[in-house]
Structure 1
Amino acid sequence: MDAFVFVSGRLCLDLAGTMLWRRSLRTELLDSPADLRRWISAADILDDPGPVDSRALERVRRLREAVYLVAGNWPLGDHADAAVKDALAEVNEAARLPLPRRQIEESGRATRTGGVDEVLGAVGYDAVDLLGSPQFARMKECANEDCTRLFVDLSRSGARRWCGMAECGNRNKAAAFRKRQKEQSSG
Structure 2
Amino acid sequence: MATVAKRGMGDREMLATPDDLETWLHVAGLPPAEEPATPSELDSARALREAIHRLTWSRVDGARPNRAAIRVVNDAASAGTPAITIGADGSTAVPAPSAPVTASLALVARDAVELFTGPLAHRIRACIGHDCSLFFVDRSRPGSRRWCAMAACGEKASSASYRQRHPGAR
Match of 2:116 among 131, 146, 149: 131
Match of 2:84 among 89, 94, 102: 102
Tell me which moved more, 136-145 or 106-115. 106-115
The aligned residue for residue 111 of structure 1 is 95
CA distance in 2, matches of 1:146, 1:162: 11
Q: Does 1:172 align with 2:157?
A: yes
The aligned residue for residue 51 of structure 2 is 66
What pairs with 1:25-44 in structure 2 (closer than 5 Å)? 25-44=10-29
Structure 2 residue ranges without an equivalent (≥5): none
What is the RMSD computed on CA atoms of the aligned residues?
2.2
Partner SS for 1:134: coil
CA distance in 2, matches of 1:122, 1:156: 28
How far does the alpha carbon of each residue in 1:41-78 deviate from its partner, in whole angstroms, 9 at most, with x for none? 121121x223112222111011000011012114664x
Deviation at 1:158, TM superposition (A): 1.7
Indicate if the aligned counterparts of 2:136 and 2:148 stay in contact, CA closer than 8 A: yes
What's the TM-score once normalised by structure 2's chain length?
A: 0.84
- Whichever residue aligns with residue 38 of structure 2, its letter is D
Deviation at 1:165, TM superposition (A): 2.9
Deviation at 1:24, TM superposition (A): 2.0
The aligned residue for residue 135 of structure 2 is 150
Partner SS for 2:95: strand
CA distance in 2, matches of 1:20, 1:120: 20
Indicate if the aligned counterparts of 2:84 and 2:93 stay in contact, CA closer than 8 A: no
The aligned residue for residue 49 of structure 1 is 33
The list of structure 1 runs, each at least 4 consecutive aligned residues, that deviate by more than 4 angstroms after superposition, is: none
- Inter-CA distance 129–109: structure 2 relative to 1 (3 Å threshold): closer
CA distance in 2, matches of 1:32, 1:120: 16
Structure 1 residue ranges without an equivalent (≥5): 1-14
The aligned residue for residue 71 of structure 2 is 89
Higher RCO structure (Cα 8 Å, ≥6 apart)? 1
Report the number of matched residues: 163
Percent of pairs with identical residues: 32
Deviation at 1:97, TM superposition (A): 1.0
The aligned residue for residue 7 of structure 1 is none
